[in-house]
Structure 1
Amino acid sequence: MASSHDALGLERPAGFTAQRQLSASRMDVFHLPALGACVAEARRRLRTLLAERGVDDDVRDDAGLVLSELFTNAIRYSDSERIACALRVTSSLLRLEVADEGRGLTQPQPREAGVDEESGRGLLLVNALAAAWGVHPCADGRGRVVWAVLRRD
């Protein structure tokens, strides 16, 4: 995988106007093994970083859920060994990015899960909680970044 700073570079989401404000903020990056047991650790690290930045509990909860879904999808669908997580926080927005090694056959996309299915609702939750989200290839073409922007207000 490319270095976390290359793989997790911000791109302008279509229709989203706060890019200049996000670009001026500091990015925090951490890497974890692509294991189900690491989802809770990713969420814990995110909540710690957000608390250090003064983000309120409700937004931390929403961001934790979004990160959990994106991290879980990276584990489940990319056949990666490691996953990079990044965070940028401004006064009004936060952006989460999860970069995998892109060995999966499909791009992330929401689907409708059946009533009895135990999975398949993650990106629907992301869509409900995020102001915007999307996916783009890593800068070096090996892997993909799934990002989500949440409002702090």
Structure 2
Amino acid sequence: MGRRGGCFGGRPQAAYAYGFNFPALNASVAEARRRVLARLREWGIDETACDDARLVVSELFTNAVRHTDSDKVSCHLRVNEALVRIEVADHGCAPTEPRARFSGTDEESGRGLLLVGALSQAWGVRPDDAGRGRIVWADLPHRRLCP
């Protein structure tokens, strides 16, 4: 998927969309971050939103790799006038639904969804279309910079 629409008078006329899949491996997390950052910059999204999106993708992709039995993880981006929607889909069952939790000071992980919640305007979880996996999504505010 690619660009649809464009800018007129500094405002986007239509949404942008993009998606990709990677194997559910730890090494895929860094590549997912790179892809998202490159695409958002190509679309002219401001650096603050790009940085936030990079962190959110990292957290959501890592959770899908670590906490499901997926063979692959999918990521979809959509951008409209005000928001970047990031959706990360696993394709395997996890024993519990993702939820934000407070971790102890001696724990090395467990704060990712708190970070997602802090950076996003809204986030949530829904079943995927096949009914086996789930999609975790986050909406991030942005300023659109026309190329």
Q: Same fold (TM over 0.5)?
A: yes
Q: Return the letter of the residue paired with 2:82.
A: S
Q: Does 1:80 align with 2:70?
A: yes
Provide the rounded CA distance (Å) in 2 between the counterparts of 1:29 and 1:87: 6
- Structure 1 length-normalised TM: 0.82
Q: CA deviation at 1:92?
A: 1.4
Moved runs in structure 1, 4+ residues, more than 3 A? none
The one of 142, 148, 151 aligned to 2:132: 142
Q: Does 1:69 align with 2:56?
A: no
Contact 2:71 2:92 in 1 (8 A): no
In the TM superposition, what are the counterparts of 1:58-137 in structure 2 within 5 Å?
58-137=48-127
Q: CA deviation at 1:142?
A: 1.8
Q: Return the letter of the residue paired with 1:150.
A: L
Question: Identity across aligned pairs (percent)?
Answer: 56
The one of 33, 37, 42 aligned to 1:43: 33
Q: CA deviation at 1:116?
A: 1.0
- The size of the alignment, in residue pairs, is 130
Q: CA deviation at 1:103?
A: 1.6
- Structure 2 length-normalised TM: 0.85
Q: CA deviation at 1:90?
A: 1.5
Q: Is the partner of 2:34 in helix, strand or coil?
A: helix
Q: CA deviation at 1:105?
A: 0.7
Which consecutive residues of structure 2, in runs of 5 or more, have no partner in the other structure?
1-13
Which structure dedicates a bigger proportion of its chain to helix?
1
Contact 2:24 2:73 in 1 (8 A): yes
- The residue number in structure 1 matching 2:45 is 55
Structure ID, larger Rg: 2
Deviations, residues 96-116 of structure 1 (Å, cap 9, x unaligned): 000001321110001110001
Q: Return the letter of the residue paired with 1:72.
A: T
Contact 2:90 2:133 in 1 (8 A): yes
Provide the rounded CA distance (Å) in 2 between the counterparts of 1:123 and 1:93: 19
- The residue number in structure 2 matching 1:12 is none
Provide the rounded CA distance (Å) in 2 between the counterparts of 1:115 and 1:142: 34
Which consecutive residues of structure 1, in runs of 5 or more, have no partner in the other structure?
1-23
